[in-house]
Structure 1
Amino acid sequence: MDALVTTEWLAGELGKPDLRILDATWFLPGEPRDARGEFEGGHIPGAMFFDINLISDKTSPLPTMLPPADQFAAQLGALGVSDGDRVVLYDDAPHHTAARAWWMLQSFGIDAALLDGGLAKWKAEGRPLERGTQPVDPGRITVRPNHALVRSLDQVRAGLGGHQEQLVDARSPARFTGQETETRPGLASGHIPGSANVPYSSFFNPDGTWKHPTSLRLVLEDEGVEVERPVIATCGSGISAAVIVFALHLLGHPAALYDGSWVEWGADPDTRKATGAA
């Protein structure tokens, strides 16, 4: 199974016993939409709801952090996923949050695919929807944490100035430069020094499908990112940074994600901050 699958392909695979479809729609706090409620109102047949808020480290003061391995295995298994299953992820969110769920699975050694265009494209094509939540038999999944895909604050701070790994920030230019004030209390504005700014929206066509790999490369290179060199992706809270990681995956280059991202870095009085353009 390719890392990016089409709606046509998925429609032809519906009902196959080894196929698991997960809806990873997520919205920012304060956004006037209810991800779970929308899932209940209509989703791709056979899909289960992958709750990014629930499937997170509840011991961390930071939002949506990667959970412990045993918790992740239990919660993914509760969605019916077992070893050997083909997992397809999609969303119906402007932040393309299925990429975050994909990175989470990858971080635990589990392969998955993204549905190109997500639920919006599926619905635009008049494909079937299902309401409510159907019962599912629990699965058993083996997790193998891949620490190479995750970075902590200390790891990012230790690498500043060394130029071994490139920092690429997926937030909007206004947030990156500090022109837009952060709404979270106690959070500074700006970005991690030395970061490039490549907004996550840059990777998509107007219909929400992913750009061709040639264009993905140009999006990154136009902002000074060397695709062949190691990358650490960042954003506000580790959600949209996964778009950068997936884009590089499509180009054949694994990248790491700083899970705490600006919510952690910007709130720490001891970290260096920068404002203005890259």
Structure 2
Amino acid sequence: MSLYKLISPKSLADLVRKETSRRVVPVDSTWYMPNTKKDGKQEFLDVERIANAVYFDIDGVKDHSSPYPHMLPDLATFNAGMSQLGITSSDILVVYDRIGNFSAPRCAWTLAVFGHQPVYLLNNFIAYKQQGLPLDTSKRTAVSPFQPSTYESNVDLTSQEVVSYEDMLKLVESGELALKYNVFDARALPRFTGEASEPRPGLPSGHVPGTQPLPYSAVLSEGCFEDSPEKMQKRLQDYLESANCTLDSRKPTIAMCGTGVSGVIIKTALELAGVKDVKLYDGSWTEWAMRADPKYLAKGRK
């Protein structure tokens, strides 16, 4: 079960209009792959945003001791980041990104991992714009319209939600990864097979032995998640059958990707489809390719 819920553009507009006891705070978390040379934070400040939105920087609120991008922070770092944005524990948070559903699931998941409730994922910003709902197009100089707060969460679900490199390595070395888990990689298929380069210079492509491809684009329809479990199940099943991949409901599941962003997209899709016990390998392929013995960098489909 996902830690957060989907909300449609219309339902968001209704929520903003009807909610009188708590703030509804849109959270822009737009992040682009490094090879695009685009800056989500600068677009937030210069281009447009939902009114009263804050910008949550997944490359700012992270584990600063890790050599890998935007890894989950510790609780103190998370609380400090939320305080700087002026978020309070009573706020209703609605996360979006300007791409559609790309980095927003990662942000919504992070907020919920550290106990914020409720958290919604807007499904999605492109549809919001197409429906002519209100936008703020003025230039901003700050990532939040609010004064700093004192945000204090004592919840950390990291151990329940995340699989470590050490856990993955033990399973691969023993040959038990595919026996004990469904493991899906959200990267584009040519990166999974090793036929295309990784967007990060010097990083080899390929995959962890025992994983299966589940490109994040396969679980979205025009950037949106399906709006019912049945539709989400069908979308997943159609892809898995076409790709000759399997999902064993008796096994727990691990999702991964390049750096833990699009892995949350497929994690969300699986959970929306009713798949239970889905964890994220946060370091994903970047950590694996940098740390694992080259003999564990697989090529091809399997």
2 CA distance for matches of 1:209 and 1:94?
7
Aligned equivalent of 1:247, options 238, 251, 269: 269
Match of 1:116 in 2: 123
* CA displacement at 1:176 relative to structure 2: 0.5
1:227/1:47 Cα in 2 relative to 1: closer, same or farther (>3 Å)? farther
Deviation per CA, 1:111-170, whole angstroms, max 9, x where unpaired?
4110012x2111111111113245313252314111110111101112233222221100
* 1:142/1:115 CA distance change after superposition, 3 Å: same
Distance in 2 (alpha carbons) for counterparts of 1:19 and 1:228: 39
CA distance in 1, matches of 2:13, 2:101: 24
Provide the residue aligned with 1:276 in structure 2. Answer: 300
Note the alpha carbon deviations across 1:168-216, whole angstroms, 9 max, x for none.
100011000001122434422210011111100111112x221242232
**CA 1:205–1:250: 2 relative to 1, 3 Å:** same
Give the aligned residue type for 1:135: P
Distance 1:63 1:226, change over 3 A: same
Question: Counterpart in 2 of 1:210?
Answer: 225
Distance in 1, Cα, partners of 2:5 & 2:27: 15
Partner of residue 90, structure 2:
84
Tell me if the contact between 1:107 and 1:145 (Cα under 8 Å) persists in the aligned partners: yes
Contact 1:217–1:227 (CA<8 Å) still a contact in 2?
no
Unaligned runs of 5+ in 1: none
C-alpha distance in 1, partners of 2:211/2:235? Answer: 15
Question: 5+ unaligned residues in a row in structure 2: which ranges?
Answer: none
Q: Is the 8 A contact 2:101 2:224 kept in 1?
A: no
User: Deviations for 1:215-257, whole angstroms, at most 9, x for unmatched residues?
Assistant: 3223444231234531111101111000011112323424111
Percent identity over the alignment is 33
- Paired position in structure 2 for 1:151: 163
**SS state of the match for residue 113, structure 1?**
strand
Tell me the residue number matched to 2:257.
Answer: 235
Name the structure 2 match of 1:72.
78
Q: Distance in 1 between matches of 2:281 and 2:4?
A: 25
Contact 1:192 1:273 in 2 (8 A): yes
Change (3 A) 1:88 1:227: farther
Preserved CA contact (<8 Å) 2:187 2:215: yes
Equivalent in the alignment of 1:35: 40
**What is the SS of the residue equivalent to 2:36?**
coil
Q: 1:135 aligns with which of 145, 152, 157?
A: 145
Counterpart contact for 1:110–1:143, Cα < 8 Å: no
Distance in 2 (CA, whole Å) between partners of 1:94 and 1:8 is 16
1:23 matched to 2:51? The reply is: no
Map of 1:200 onto structure 2: 216
SS in 1 for 2:156: coil
Deviates more, 1:172-181 or 1:141-150: 141-150
Conserved 8 A contact 1:107-1:150: no
The SS at the match of 1:8 is helix
* Number of aligned positions between the proteins: 276
Distance 1:148 1:233, change over 3 A: same
Q: Secondary structure at the match of 1:267?
A: helix
Do the aligned partners of residues 33 and 94 (structure 1) sit closer, same or farther apart at CA in structure 2, a change above 3 Å counting?
farther
Question: Does structure 1 residue 189 correspond to structure 2 residue 205?
Answer: yes
- TM-score, length-scaled by structure 1: 0.91
Report the Cα distance in structure 2 between the residues aligned to 1:136 and 1:7, rounded to whole angstroms. 23
Are 1:99 and 2:114 counterparts?
no
Q: Which amino acid aligns with 2:152?
A: I
Tell me whether 32-41 or 44-53 shows the greater mean CA deviation.
32-41
Distance 1:85 1:254 in 2: 28
